[in-house]
């Protein structure tokens, strides 16, 4: 079984999974959602790429920037980052940011239980970071 198919199967046992047309999987965990896809880097090297959206349109100020920086420093499984943007509406100069957690890992050789556990650990960390940011 291909890794992307296996990933979807093991996650469907515990989470609602949407299989996207482009091969990505979308899962919801807590108040977050994540996109997972399998990327072949080289023959025999398949990576799972996970991007979890933790918060959208956070108002940007020094307090939020400091919180995100602390989580970026303290998070071991994944990289927390913020994408800063200026309001899209004409005349809107309000600065906001979207907070993401990204994690890539080689999945070859992982059992179904190990694969499921690793993904759940990363998703749980993302949910915890979200809770801390929006509290």
Distance CA 111, CA 57 (A): 37
> Using one digit for the tens of pLDDT, what is the confidence trace for 57-80?
998 899 999 999 999 999 999 999
pLDDT of residue 94: 81
- Domain 3-134 fold: Yope Regulator; Chain: A, (3.30.1460)
Tell me, yes or no, if the pTM score tops 0.95. Answer: no
Confidence check: pLDDT of 89 > 60: no
Confidence of residue 92 (pLDDT cuts 50, 70, 90): low
* Weakest-pLDDT range from 12-16, 22-26, 43-47, 128-132: 43-47
Confidence of residue 1 (pLDDT cuts 50, 70, 90): low
Domain ranges of the chain: 3-134
Determine phi and psi for 78, rounding to 5 degrees: 115, 170
Confidence check: pLDDT of 90 > 70: no
If we measure between CA atoms, which residue out of 23, 53, 26, 19 comes closest to residue 38? 23
pLDDT of residue 135: 85
Residue 37's alpha-carbon distances to 48, 70, 76, in angstroms, are: 6, 27, 21
Determine phi and psi for 116, rounding to 5 degrees: -60, -45
**100: exposed, middle or buried (Cβ count in 10 Å: 0-12, 13-18, 19+):** buried
């Amino acid at each position: 079984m291909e890794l992307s198919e296996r990933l979807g199967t093991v996650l469907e046992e515990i989470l609602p999974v949407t299989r996207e047309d482009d091969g990505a999987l979308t899962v919801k965990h807590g108040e977050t959602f994540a996109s997972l896809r399998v990327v072949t880097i080289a023959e025999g090297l398949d990576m799972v790429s996970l991007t979890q959206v933790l918060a959208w349109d956070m108002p940007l100020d020094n307090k939020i920037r400091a919180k995100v920086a602390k989580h970026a420093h303290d998070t071991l499984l994944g990289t927390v980052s913020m994408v800063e943007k200026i309001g899209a509406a004409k005349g809107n100069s309000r600065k906001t940011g979207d907070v993401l957690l990204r994690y890539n890992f080689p999945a070859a050789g992982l059992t179904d239980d190990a694969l499921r556990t690793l993904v759940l650990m990363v998703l749980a960390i993302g949910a915890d970071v979200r809770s801390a940011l929006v509290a």
